[in-house]
Amino acid sequence: MSETQNNVPEVDENKIIAERRAKLNALREIGHSYPNTFRRENTSAELHGKYDGMSKEELAEAEPVRVKVAGRMMLRRIMGKASFATLQDYEGRIQIYVTRDELPEGFYNEQFKKWDLGDIVGAEGTLFKTNTGELSIHVDHIELITKSIRPLPDKFHGLQDQEVKYRQRYVDLIVNEESRETFIMRSKIVQHVRNFLIEKGFMEVETPMMHVIPGGATARPFNTHHNALDMPLYLRIAPELYLKRLVVGGFEKVFEINRSFRNEGLSTRHNPEFTMVEFYSAYTDYHQLMDYTEELLKELAELTVGSTTVPYQGQEFDFGKPFARLTMKDAILQYNPDVTAEQLDDLEAAREVAKSLHIKIEDSYGLGKVLTEIFEETVEEKLMDPTFITEYPAEVSPLARRNDKNPFITDRFELFIGGRELANGFNELNDAEDQAERFRAQVEAKEAGDDEAMHYDEDYITALEHGMPPTAGEGIGIDRLVMLFTDKPSIRDVLLFPHMRPAS
RNA sequence: GGGUCGUUAGCUCAGCCGGUAGAGCAGUUGGCUUUUAACCAAUUGGUCGAGCGUUCGAAUCGCUCACGACCCA
pLDDT in tens, A201-221: 999 999 999 999 999 998 889
Pairing of strands A420-427, A471-477: antiparallel
Q: Rounded to whole angstroms, how far apart are CA atoms A189 and A324?
A: 23
- CB-contacted nucleotides of strand B (7 Å): 6, 9-13, 24-28, 31-39, 44-45, 49, 66-71, 73
- By C-alpha to C1' distance, B24 is nearest to A154
Average pLDDT over residues A441-468: 91
Average pLDDT over residues A123-145: 97
Average pLDDT over residues A2-18: 62
**CA of A134: nucleotide with nearest C1':** B36
**CA of A154: nucleotide with nearest C1':** B11
Which residues does A199 contact at the CB level (< 8 Å), separation at least 6?
A: none
Buried b (16+ CB within 10 A) or exposed e, A463-502: bbeeebeebbbbbbbbbbbbbbbbbbeebbbbbeebeeee
> Is the pLDDT score of A5 beyond 50?
no
Angular region, A329: left φ>0, alpha ψ -120 to 50, beta rest: alpha
Q: Is A142 helix (H, G, I), strand (E, B) or coil?
A: strand
> Is the pLDDT score of A9 beyond 90?
no
Average pLDDT over residues A25-42: 94
Interatomic separation, CA of residue A12 and C1' of nucleotide B19, rounded (Å): 34
Could you give the dihedral angle defined by the CA atoms of residues A354, A357, A359 and A361, in that order, rounded to the nearest 10 degrees? 20
Class of residue A203 by CB neighbours under 10 A (exposed 0-12, middle 13-18, buried 19+): middle
pLDDT in tens, A462-495: 999 999 999 999 999 999 999 999 999 999 999 9
> Is the pLDDT score of A7 beyond 80?
no
Band of pLDDT at residue A46, cut at 50, 70 and 90: very high
Q: Is A141 helix (H, G, I), strand (E, B) or coil?
A: strand
> Is the pLDDT score of A8 beyond 70?
no
Residue A3: the pLDDT is 39
Residue A14: the pLDDT is 84
**CA of A159: nucleotide with nearest C1':** B11
Class of residue A362 by CB neighbours under 10 A (exposed 0-12, middle 13-18, buried 19+): exposed
Between A240-248 and A458-465, two packed helices, what is the crossing angle to 10 degrees?
Answer: 30
Does ipTM come in above 0.95?
no
Band of pLDDT at residue A6, cut at 50, 70 and 90: very low
> Is the pLDDT score of A12 beyond 70?
no
Residue A4: the pLDDT is 43
Average pLDDT over residues A11-15: 72
pLDDT in tens, A359-392: 888 888 899 999 999 999 999 999 999 999 999 9
Residue A502: the pLDDT is 83
Q: Rounded to whole angstroms, how far apart are CA atoms A279 and A76?
A: 51
Interatomic separation, CA of residue A77 and C1' of nucleotide B43, rounded (Å): 20
Residue A453: the pLDDT is 85
Closest CA to A486 of A303, A294, A324, A323: A303
Interatomic separation, CA of residue A5 and C1' of nucleotide B49, rounded (Å): 22
Interatomic separation, CA of residue A161 and C1' of nucleotide B16, rounded (Å): 21
> Is the pLDDT score of A229 beyond 60?
yes
Residue A183: the pLDDT is 96
Residue A2: the pLDDT is 37
SS3 annotation, A216-279: CCCCCCCEEEECCCCEEEEECCCCHHHHHHHHHCCCCEEEEEEEEECCCCCECCECCEEEEEEE
Residue A354: the pLDDT is 92
Q: Rounded to whole angstroms, how far apart are CA atoms A289 and A292?
A: 5
- By C-alpha to C1' distance, B10 is nearest to A151
pLDDT > 70: percent of chain A: 97
Band of pLDDT at residue A503, cut at 50, 70 and 90: confident
Q: What is the CA radius of gyration of chain A?
A: 29
Q: Rounded to whole angstroms, how far apart are CA atoms A40 and A71?
A: 9
Which residues does A493 contact at the CB level (< 8 Å), separation at least 6?
A: A182, A483, A486
**CA of A132: nucleotide with nearest C1':** B34
Beta bridge partners of residue A317, listed in sequence order: A310
Length of chain A in terms of residues written: 504
Residue A364: the pLDDT is 84
Interatomic separation, CA of residue A347 and C1' of nucleotide B63, rounded (Å): 51
Angstrom CA distances, A104 to A97, A110, A141, stand at 15, 11, 9
**CA of A80: nucleotide with nearest C1':** B32
Residue A445: the pLDDT is 85
Interatomic separation, CA of residue A346 and C1' of nucleotide B45, rounded (Å): 73
Q: Rounded to whole angstroms, how far apart are CA atoms A167 and A145?
A: 26
Q: Rounded to whole angstroms, how far apart are CA atoms A475 and A278?
A: 4
pLDDT in tens, A305-328: 999 999 999 899 999 999 999 999
Residue A280: the pLDDT is 98
Return mean pLDDT, chain A: 94
Interatomic separation, CA of residue A163 and C1' of nucleotide B61, rounded (Å): 28
Residue A367: the pLDDT is 95
SS3 annotation, A147-170: CCCCCCCCCCCCCCCHHHHHHCHH
Please calculate the CA angle A366-A357-A408 and round it to the nearest 5 degrees: 25
Q: Rounded to whole angstroms, how far apart are CA atoms A275 and A89?
A: 28
Residue A504: the pLDDT is 65
Q: Rounded to whole angstroms, how far apart are CA atoms A455 and A458?
A: 9
Band of pLDDT at residue A295, cut at 50, 70 and 90: very high
